[in-house]
Every structure is written in structure tokens, then in C-alpha cells.
Structure 1
Amino acid sequence: MRPAHLLLAVLVAAVWGVNFTVIEIGLGHFPPLLFSALRFLTAAVPAVLFVGRPKVAWKWIVAVGLVLGVAKFGLLFLGMDAGMPAGLSSLVLQIQSVFTALIAFAVLGERPSRPRALGMAVALGGVALAAVDEGTAGPLGAFALVITAAACWGLSNVLTRKASPPDALNFMVWVSTVPVLPLLGLSVLTEGPSRDLAALRALDWQGVGVVLYVAWITTVFGFGAWGWLLRRHPASTVAPFSLLVPVFGMSSAALFLGEQLTPLRWGAAALLVGGVALTSLAPAGTRPSEVVVDEREMRSTTAAGSGRLQP
């Protein structure tokens, strides 16, 4: 990988990691579900006008939009609003790789290799240690919401793999159109129209800035750059850079939000990052029956599995 490409990969990981701190700041301006709806609305418009028509069936766009956009991001924002620290959220969400492997085994029949199984066990140990740390400092209910968000992310990864989009950015921009109305409806029902209107009336430059960051910088730039790298380098070369996301997430939360990095949290980080590395980079294992795919499908499947949308 060229130095410029390497720096771009690190920059994307940094953008995705700092995003958790930006979300925390944004939750001081907006109710969580309204904030999530604004994120997807701003990400989809005007980008949807420039990416062309959808290149996969609408059933996959709607399915991923509901699971990833409504369920995963809705639960993440709710969990962080309920007290889950930004840095810890950036770390715990990486357990999605374990959920992805488990759901792929159940749905696609992909039996994980021994190194992957070991990685899953190590990562789960990291989550257990993180739960102990959170139990001494914050609400476990918020922790559970983020874990559930990670499970929804795993399911969306499997759905994305089934969709095999030939253009990952086109796919994610169209996916971003799906959650807007459901999230707005849920916000009105659960957070209340008066609270939503009050947040919009009080909108200031910081509020605008956080929405633009989570929409255009994190989603449009981050995913676009990630997809660009995946088209030029093997997924096995690009994917490991996503392990830097919790490093930047925890560091930025400590720097800008004053979150403490306890020994337990460092231990959880070591186990989770190590386990996720084994799960993500080890050989995938085998299927019950051999499946033959053409070269184009292999490329799109690799991009869908490795180019996961970050929060």
C-alpha cells in the first residue's frame, strides 16, 4: 500500500473513531432518535442525486436500511443517551464481528475456522470485562442497548453480503434513505413532537456541525474512501485498519470528554481488539457444500463484508 493510501486508511479510522465523541456532543442538542434521523437524511440528500440508480434489488436496500439504520443506529444512540460512554461504545461495538460470524453460520452455513472461533471467545471475554467495568461506573441497561446494536450490525453485514452490491457507496447512500421516516415516526411517538420541535428551534452552529460530521464526514466521505481503498487493495490489507477505530474512539473521548481509561477498560480493549483481529483476519472456514461464484461476485462480496458502515 502506498504511503498516501496508508494515511487515507488511518484517516478513515480516525474519522470513524472520533465520530463517537461527536455523537456524544450531538446528543446534548437532539433527542437520540431525531438525531439519528437527521444523520441519515443529511447523508442521503443530496448524495442520492449523484450516485445513480440503485444497483441491487430494493428488498436488500430496505432490509439493510431497517436493520442497520433504524435498529442498529437507533439502539446505539439510545444507549449512548442512556449513559454508555462514547469511548466504551466505540470499543464494544466491535463485537459485531462475532455476531456476524455467528449469524453467517446460522443463516449461510459458514462454519468458522478454529482461529476464528478462538478469536470470538477472546472477544467475548473482552465484552465481559467491559461489562464489569461499566457495571462499576454506569447503567448496564445502556450497555445492553449497545450490545444489541452490535448484534443488529452483524445481521446487516450478512444481509449486505447476500445483496453483494457492486458499488458499496451507491448501496449505502440508498440505504440511508430508508431509516429517515421510521426514525422520525419513532421519535415523534417516543420522544414527543414538543421535544423534537424544541431541539430544532434551538439549533445552533454546533448542532449543525455535529449533524454534518456524522452524515457527510463519517458516512459519505468515510465509506466512500473505504470503498475506494477496497477497489485498489485486497480486503485483507484494508480491513485491519478498522481495528484502529476504538483506539481513536477511546482516545478522543478521553481527550475531549474527559472519560477515564481504567485498567479494566484497557484490558477489555486488548481482549476485544485481539479477538476481533483473529475473527476478522483468520481464514473464514468452510461451508457444508462447496459454492462456486464468479470473479465479480467474489469482489463484491469481499467489499460488502469488509466495508462495514461505521457509526
Structure 2
Amino acid sequence: MPVLFVALWSTGFIGAKFGLPHAEPFTFLFVRFVLTLALLLPLAGLLKVDWPRGLRLWGHIGISGMLVHGAYLGGVFYGIQLGMPAGLAALLVGLQPLLTAALARPLLGERLAPLQWAGLALGLTGITLVLGSKLDPGGALFQGFGLGALTSVMVALAGISLGTLYQKRYCTGMPLLTGTAVQYLAAGILLGLGALFFEERNIEWTPTFLLTLLWLVLVLSISAILLLMALIKRGEASRVASLFYLVPPVTALEAWWLFDERLPMIGLVGMAVTIAGVVLTARGRR
């Protein structure tokens, strides 16, 4: 089950690659969240699960949703639309444990262990190797994408990292299923405003787009969440956390197979070094 969860999760980056030629990123994600809520709300009623109690908790969950889902997915999708390879986007946002550890001291008062410092150094070294392998000395900043794509994915990384810390600080009493629905609602409002003010909101309802949308809604936003609930109930959440380190290489393999996205050898070495740094940082944190 943990392996299945991570395999499904890695396809979210691939889904962005398939769907973005047919819809703008904020519009795409807004439609995805609306359809997800249309399925998630009746499911919550069917399972008779509790909802978050109190307006204050609802507000905190909404803010975490805007960061964890809105900024994170919006940044990833926008970066991929601007030309960033899906495998590289997965690797960059996979730095979340490193950034979370770095921010935990000033925001939560947590101290970094020596193992975490070693992990941070390894992660930064690895990501430098990966980005350096994509440098285009001919004039453009990187091969196939520029600063806009890199900035978008960095916003996604900041969103998921700050959202994780915010949720840990203020949303400890959040029911998983209904709390996720509240997060999707808040993120949907944020992305809907983004689509309203910054996009033309045109969608090409092609078979490819429809299949991609159904996959992201049914498999990622619904099935993966239910699978995560089952894993937590079985006490296997730690296995999911450790297998998350495999998401970037699995995504890179899928992107190579489907889109012929390639990294040179120095980039592959950098990916391995980066993942090792993330593992060390997370182990030191635990």
C-alpha cells in the first residue's frame, strides 16, 4: 500500500504535463478542486465523519489549504507550463523537508541536529549539480525554461513548507477527510481568483484533458487521500514518509518514458545527492 501511494502521487506531475496544453494552470486546478469537492462532500456525509469544530480552526485549515494546495500546486503547474521538466519540478519541491527543517528553528523554536545540517549541505550541493546540468551557456538561463518557471516552483516549495509548519502549529485537531475538504475549498477560492484576474479561462475539452482531469480528481485527490487514511489507520504512515523520497526519481523515470525528458549524468548524480540530503534531514528531524 505505501508503494502504491507513492506511485500514484508521482503521477500528479505527469498529469500537469498532459493537461496544461489544454487549459491554463489556475483554471485547470480550479476545475479539479470543484470536481473533487463534488465527490468529497457526499463521501464525508456517507462515512459520517466529523467536521472541524469552531470558526477559528476552519480559518487555520483554510490558510493551510491555500499554502499546501493553492501555492504548492499553483506554483508547480505554472512552472511546468513555463517549460520546467516534470522530473525537475518534482525534485525541487521534494526539497520540502530541507526547507521545513531550516524554518523550524525561527518559526517553531526547534534546533537543527548535526545530521540535519549535513543533510542541508548535501541537498544544496545536489540541487546545484542538477540545476548546473541544465544551464544553457548560449544565452537562455536554462535549457527550455527561464527564471519565471524556477520562481514559480520556488513559490510552490515555500508554500508546501510554510503550509506544513502552519498546519503543525495551528491545525492539530483537523479531521483528515473533512479537513482536506476545507483545504480544497480554500485553495479552490484562491486559484479561482487567480484564474479570474490573470487568465482567459479557456479550456479545450479534448479526450486527453478529460482523462487527465479524471485521473487527477479520482486517483490523486480522492483515492490517494483515502489510501493515506488507511495507511495511518494501519500505522504505516512512517513507511509512506520514507518512500516519499522516491517520488522525484519515479517522476523523472515516468517523464523520460512519456516525454523523453532527460538529465545528463551530472544531473542524475545531483538528484541522488539531493535525495540523500533530504533523507538525512528528515531522519535528523524525526
Q: TM-score over 0.5 for the alignment?
A: yes
CA contact (8 A) 1:118 1:278 kept: yes
Matching residue of 1:245: 247
> In structure 1, how many angstroms separate the alpha carbons of the residues matched to 2:244 and 2:103?
21
Matching residue of 1:275: 277
CA contact (8 A) 1:66 1:179 kept: yes
For residues 37-94 of structure 1, the C-alpha deviation after alignment (integer angstroms, 9 at most, x for no partner) is 1222222222123224532511222111221232221111111111110111111111
Asked if 1:49 corresponds to 2:56, the answer is no
Deviation at 1:206, TM superposition (A): 1.8
Q: Counterpart amino acid of 2:112?
A: P
**Aligned with 1:28 (options 15, 21, 25):** 21
Deviation at 1:235, TM superposition (A): 4.1
Deviation at 1:242, TM superposition (A): 0.9
Deviation at 1:154, TM superposition (A): 0.3
**Aligned with 1:233 (options 208, 212, 235):** 235
Asked if 1:138 corresponds to 2:135, the answer is no
> In structure 1, how many angstroms separate the alpha carbons of the residues matched to 2:163 and 2:216?
19
Asked if 1:258 corresponds to 2:264, the answer is no
Helix, strand or coil: the match of 1:54?
coil
> In structure 2, how many angstroms separate the alpha carbons of the residues matched to 1:180 and 1:239?
26
Deviation at 1:103, TM superposition (A): 2.1
CA contact (8 A) 1:21 1:257 kept: no
Deviation at 1:26, TM superposition (A): 0.5
Q: Give unpaired runs (5+ residues) of structure 1.
A: 1-7, 285-311
- After the TM superposition, which of the residue ranges 22-31 and 50-59 deviates more from structure 2? 50-59
CA contact (8 A) 1:131 1:143 kept: no
Give the TM-score, by structure 1 length.
0.82
Helix, strand or coil: the match of 1:135?
coil
Deviation at 1:240, TM superposition (A): 0.7
CA contact (8 A) 2:101 2:285 kept: no
CA contact (8 A) 2:69 2:187 kept: yes
Deviation at 1:181, TM superposition (A): 2.5
CA contact (8 A) 1:126 1:271 kept: yes
Helix, strand or coil: the match of 1:46?
helix
Q: Percent identity?
A: 24
Give the TM-score, by structure 2 length.
0.88
Misfit runs of 4+, over 6 Å: none
> In structure 1, how many angstroms separate the alpha carbons of the residues matched to 2:9 and 2:269?
22
CA contact (8 A) 2:37 2:181 kept: yes
Aligned length: 271
Matching residue of 1:221: 223
Helix, strand or coil: the match of 1:171?
helix
Deviation at 1:234, TM superposition (A): 5.2
- Note the aligned Cα RMSD (angstroms): 1.8
Helix, strand or coil: the match of 1:111?
coil
Deviation at 1:229, TM superposition (A): 1.1
Matches within 5 A, 1:167-206: 167-192=175-200, 196=201, 198-199=202-203, 202-206=204-208
